[in-house]
Structure 1
Amino acid sequence: MSLRIRRSALDNGAWLQLRESWATRWDSLSVHARARRYERADLAACCLFIGHPRSGHSAVGSVLDAHPDALVAHRLDAMRYIERGYSPAMLTSMIVGNVRRFTRGGRRLTGYSYAIPGSWQGRTRDLRVIGDQEGRLTALRLARNPAALDAFERRWGVPVRLVHVTRNPYDNITTWALRRMSDLESTTAAYFAICREVASIAEHRGGAGVLHVRHEEFLARPRELTAELCEFVGLKADGEHLDQAVGLLYPTPHRSRHTQPWPPHLIARVAREAKAFAFLDGYHWDN
């Protein structure tokens, strides 16, 4: 079977993840040599995303990466390297390789481009913030090893900021179920398992240690929430950058819940389980 046929069997996101895994392995083999150029970087923070697939991390991460002083990787799984003891310079080297590949490829994912023409995506003016938008694996690793970030901060003196993007759970579960080619019932169980991980991480890090960003509000007020995001991670808001954020995003969220038949008992289950999590407060089937 040819490579072309194998690729056609995967969606765009799966193909990118497969290609990136091989490229990342190569980067890790030469990371010590390449990290030297970033040892003098004066980093204000390392920004990691936690949470669910298909919740809006790609959009928020791409907006942050468009800032002239930030580089945010796409699905790098930076926590893997933090757990391995990578220094900020080594982690920066891995992020640079990831961001440049994603940008050269047009930053396309599942039929949508996260590229912002004329922005600083894939390059920097004065590198101050590094990050990774991979939310699910980061949440999984942190829930298992909550002290990993504490150790990183103590050793290297670079604070870690956690960003949690939420989306209406009915839309989030529907889209995730479609992409993982699974049913709504099992995807609902997986969804709330991640909710529990995020809640435990937020409790460990403290209330001010995690910024919860609602996907729907981010689309409705992109300038305001992008400025809030920049302040949270230690970046100065840039007027041109805020304008670019407005141009990237859809004006309204996609209500994918209406594309699949939801049984009444499952709608009720989501509503019932969502009550346990403050970051899901206000989400309903009808909003």
Structure 2
Amino acid sequence: MDRIDAMRLFVRVVERRSFTAAAHDTGVPRSTVTQVIKQMEERLGVRLLQRTTRSVSPTLDGEAYARRCVAILADIENAEGAFGAAKPRGLLRVEVQGTLARHFLLPGLPAFLAEYPDIELVISEGERWVDMVREGVDCVLRYGHLPDSEMVRRRVTMIERLTCAAPAYLERHGMPRSPDDLAGHRMIGLRSITTGHLAPLEFADGKGGYRSIMLPAPVSVTGTESYIVVARLGLGLFQVPLFHAERDLRQGSLVPILVETPPPSVPVSLLYPPNRQLSPRVRVFLDWAARQFAAVG
């Protein structure tokens, strides 16, 4: 294995904190990973990694060397990418919010892979907060307002939302004409995976702001798919992205309400580690994903 490939392997070990995970990511036998790192340490004359039975972590020298390797590898990829015939290649791990991906991204995936046939795209689905560096994820697609972090954030669109209910629910509880009419109504709770808190319903106040209203929530969920399924069953009011409810609205299984006081739109963002912002693989995926949202949205 040449030094460039050895650097790539070392960086993956540092990111994943695991010889086994790095071997899986790169398709290299674990014994080879161990041998390459040993040879690297012997050549440099320093210990790069601290090994225990459960984890691997870089030493101070290892952290410094990993930063230099990341910079060198980015320069190499950029230099090769400057020539039209050299297209990005290699493994690209992406974590997505599933509903967004199915609506906006997956329909255009054949064209992306046709344009970049040497990119191996691994898509995982979830809504939790991901430790991108530790878990070896290159890019994350997320819906909503995000906590502050060191990750680079690229907003790709704002998603319009609306308040809905099933006809059966409205037959039992009546049609509210304004947020002031919501006494006696129920909502379907959307519970944060990270904090466990229920999100209130939000309504435009006519003054450029929004008011929050918390209603009794006999049922609460953490996933968007379950959220809309429970709503169809007539168990409460809920607020949902317009694109997610369009089919139900056409079929009449959901009815829009309080359309004069809509909830605020919510951002959709792509996040990626700052030390990978120059990676051609990540860059072409980010640009393609932004175009997908612009075209479908």
Q: With the length of structure 1 as denominator, give the TM-score of the two structures.
A: 0.22
Structure showing the higher strand proportion among its residues: 2
Higher Rg: 2
